[in-house]
Structure 1
Amino acid sequence: MAEGERIKTLPLISLITINYNQAVVTCDMLESTRQLTYPNFEIIVVDNGSVENPTERIRQGNYPNATVVVSPDNLGFSGGNNLGVRYAKGDYLFFLNNDTIVMPDLLEKLVEPFLRDATIGVTCPKIRYHDQPNVIQYAGYRPLNPYTGRTWSIGLMEPDKGQHDQPGPTPFAHGAAMMVSRAVLERAGSLDDSFFLYYEELDWSARIRRAGFQIYYQAEALIYHRESMSVGKMNAMKVYYHVRNRLWFMRRNVAGWQLLVFYVYYFGVAIPKALIQYTIRWQPAYLKSVKDAIIWNLKHSSKQSVSVPSPMAMTA
């Protein structure tokens, strides 16, 4: 079989990434994709209303198979990725943060579990920190605590000594890097735009599992992540979406007495603790963020979603 024909028989992978005022960082990630050894993939860069349109910079980089989709508005993580989905032609969609660096065999490793098990709907690589390249950020997730609304990634901040090299099912995907089959989109839908930022991949993971799919941690795949490049380590927006979406996620995915216990914990312990800290440090913007996050939940039904504006697409 000729090489061109062999490539056509491989599943097409659509790599989707979001740029928001970080064209240099995005191009660093795109530069790393030149090393990818999987031959059949496309790249879709969604620009989330950046001050400077990155299309020309990306075009000058001459990145293979790259398309830039420009949104006039910041659609958030959920909306930006969903916009990319509209342009994706792939059998598998790989949602990848722009502040990552990929390893050459990444796509082969991530697609392999799908080809041997039809129940797998999502695969995620091992993630290490870019600035501490032997320290783990993600090696799968622990189950959700239904009383606190929290979960933690396995291996977080541990030196990688091979202790988490066993692949297998995991409760949640990591939003920085997750490959999703087209069948998942057809049966479970896509990311919910209402989250905008944070908790959206946990909500999607819960829906994907309810649709009958497994989420799979692929230990043989690896990326490096520059964490929190988009919104910084802590600011009022981050406080707002963490508070808002933790409550929003639990309202959508937990019911009955477990949700009641969560409410008691959240409003009796977690929120008062945060308010005391922000008051002692006198961070009025953070206090307002907490108030606004709670009011938002009071005003919105747990079934509500947010629409995505029409885009202007440009090809790099």
Structure 2
Amino acid sequence: MNCPMNLSIITVTWNNEKQLERQLKSVVSGCKNLEFEQIVVDNASADKTVEIVKTMSNVKVIVNTENKGFSHANNQGVEISSGEYLLFLNPDMKVEEGSLDVIVDWLEKRKDVGIVSPRLVDENGKLNEDAKPRRLPRVWEQVALILKLPHIFPKMMDKYLMKDFDGDKEQEVDSVRGSFMLMRREVVEKLGFAFDPRYYIWYEDVDICREVTKMGLKVMYSPVITAVDYVGQSFKAQESMWKQKNFTRSMLTYFQKWEAWYKWMWIWLARPIGILLVYLKNKNCLFIIDFFVILITIVFVFRYNNLFFWTIDGLAVLGSIIFFLVSIHTFSKKRKILSVVLIFASLISLLVSLWSGYQSRDTKFQIIDLKISKENEYYVYKYKLKSDGVRTIPKFEIAFCPDLPIDYVGINNEQDIRYSEELICSNGNYGGKRFVNFEPRDVEIIVRTKNIIDGYYISPMK
């Protein structure tokens, strides 16, 4: 090779004192015949990461006082590098002895390849599912991720996560993971960067793979070597809200760059919902809100039967499901069981509400008692009614002979009346009264008139 330096290994660190030394030593053993350099860019670590790097010989280090993100730090490393090939290697990686010689030689022989990544395994030697290549993300899949839907329907992500991937087969792929990414320098020279600086963290690896494909080069997976990927050790210390905000921000940036507005707008709309769900989960508010929604529903669902409370029932179901989605991977076993119970309770409440509404459409009434008395010049009729409805009837009407003048129609439990209106007959006489939203079971309707009533009807209103 004409270039004095074959390979530049660039590693971005943030509080990686426990993993970094192992990685740096493995890189040395991984390069037997290569001219190589190691560059570490530290993003304002608060632990002893920088101290460990400075104890290692022949390692260049850039110490940032501010964490400006993964993309920015990698680009800083590229600026001081001199290798013909660039290896972006996470601090929680471990490469095998002599393996970097092999994969650099592999890339040198394939001029049509811009990026290659090897077989990444876990510490037990098994193919690491979280570090496999992935297909390019689609909008609906990413919206589902934001809303935690794959926790309930895991197979919906199978295509995106390449569940059919054969780790023993060399193949061209849409994207490889940024934890081990070997790149030709000409890619950086054409683009002006290794990773688009608009990405703080996440999606920068998918983006560069798409850029490489756009310039006519291939993105390849090759099991020619194996490396151990311990996956995201730094991020385990980060708060879930920080992760959600940065993950969804980068997701939105990616789709705004590569897709039309009518696609990325769905990410923009779903993002605040995802952040809110994480906030409620962190504050333990989601459980409290959902619990009271269910409690209110159970209380009112057996008292009222109309569209408003059917809607409340539906929201209770939705709230329970959201609570379950958020809690499934974070809460204790008891809380998960409780979330399932809440879902079933709200579903039962909704079904009972709808069923009783269906049953009540043909509700019949019967007079179980009639008392007639005389008060001065008035006849007072007290009708005691009973309905065969399952629960309450939203609208109820009592009317009398159209030509019969009636002085007053009332109901004994006035506190249950939500709305009433007079029924005026075509001839101008008072024909009765319509009552809305009250319980018609075992109620007493009082009619006062100077005439003898010889005709009436009582029925639920449609």
TM-score normalised to structure 1 length: 0.74
Structure 1 residues 164 and 58 mapped into 2: Cα distance closer, same or farther (>3 Å)?
same
Q: Deviation of residue 181 (structure 1)? A: 0.5
Structure 1 residues 10 and 215 mapped into 2: Cα distance closer, same or farther (>3 Å)?
farther
2:453 match: none
SS state of the match for residue 51, structure 1? coil
Q: Deviation of residue 34 (structure 1)? A: 3.1
SS state of the match for residue 24, structure 1? coil
Which gives a bigger RCO, structure 1 or 2 (Cα 8 Å, sep 6+)? 1
Amino acid at match of 1:97: N
**Residues 1:173 and 2:176 aligned together:** yes
2:234 match: 230
Q: Please show how residues 45-56 of structure 1 align to structure 2 within 5 Å.
A: 45-51=40-46, 54-56=49-51
Amino acid at match of 1:169: E
Counterparts of 1:196 and 1:273, CA distance in 2: 19
Counterpart among 185, 188, 206 of residue 188 in structure 2: 185
Amino acid at match of 1:214: K
Counterpart among 79, 87, 91 of residue 86 in structure 1: 79
SS state of the match for residue 251, structure 1? helix
Deviation per residue, 1:11-50 (Å, 9 max, x gap): 6100000121223321111122232134321100111112
Counterparts of 1:103 and 1:214, CA distance in 2: 25
Contact 2:20 2:49 (C-alpha < 8 Å) held by counterparts: no
Counterpart among 11, 36, 39 of residue 34 in structure 2: 39
Counterparts of 1:154 and 1:93, CA distance in 2: 26
Contact 2:33 2:101 (C-alpha < 8 Å) held by counterparts: yes
Contact 2:34 2:101 (C-alpha < 8 Å) held by counterparts: no
Q: Deviation of residue 53 (structure 1)? A: 6.4
Q: Which moved more, 1:146-155 or 1:82-91?
A: 146-155
Tell me the percent identity. Answer: 22
- Higher gyration radius (CA): 2
Q: Deviation of residue 283 (structure 1)? A: 5.7
Deviation per residue, 1:172-205 (Å, 9 max, x gap): 1211010110110111332122211111111122
**Residues 1:133 and 2:125 aligned together:** yes
SS state of the match for residue 19, structure 2? helix
**Residues 1:75 and 2:68 aligned together:** yes
Structure 1 residues 271 and 88 mapped into 2: Cα distance closer, same or farther (>3 Å)?
same
Counterpart among 254, 258, 261 of residue 253 in structure 1: 258
1:263 match: 265
Structure 1 residues 266 and 75 mapped into 2: Cα distance closer, same or farther (>3 Å)?
closer
Contact 1:126 1:220 (C-alpha < 8 Å) held by counterparts: yes
Counterpart among 107, 116, 123 of residue 114 in structure 1: 107
Q: Deviation of residue 9 (structure 1)? A: 7.2
Deviation per residue, 1:95-143 (Å, 9 max, x gap): 000011111233133223432222211111111223x431423342224
Deviation per residue, 1:227-256 (Å, 9 max, x gap): 22112175221111111111111010112x
Counterpart among 5, 12, 17 of residue 11 in structure 2: 17
1:210 match: 214
Counterparts of 2:185 and 2:211, CA distance in 1: 15
Counterparts of 1:53 and 1:282, CA distance in 2: 32
Amino acid at match of 2:64: S
- Gaps in structure 2 of 5+ consecutive residues: 146-158, 286-462
- Gaps in structure 1 of 5+ consecutive residues: 1-6, 285-316
TM-score normalised to structure 2 length: 0.52
Q: Deviation of residue 271 (structure 1)? A: 5.5
Q: Which moved more, 1:33-42 or 1:246-255?
A: 33-42
Counterparts of 2:105 and 2:53, CA distance in 1: 30
Q: Deviation of residue 146 (structure 1)? A: 4.7
Once superposed, what is the RMSD of the aligned Cα atoms?
2.9
Amino acid at match of 2:126: N
SS state of the match for residue 269, structure 2? helix
Q: Which moved more, 1:93-102 or 1:183-192?
A: 183-192
Amino acid at match of 1:26: L
Counterparts of 1:281 and 1:45, CA distance in 2: 34
Contact 1:8 1:40 (C-alpha < 8 Å) held by counterparts: no
2:199 match: 195
**Residues 1:164 and 2:167 aligned together:** yes
Structure 1 residues 19 and 265 mapped into 2: Cα distance closer, same or farther (>3 Å)?
closer
Structure 1 residues 142 and 105 mapped into 2: Cα distance closer, same or farther (>3 Å)?
farther
Counterparts of 1:69 and 1:276, CA distance in 2: 38
SS state of the match for residue 183, structure 1? helix
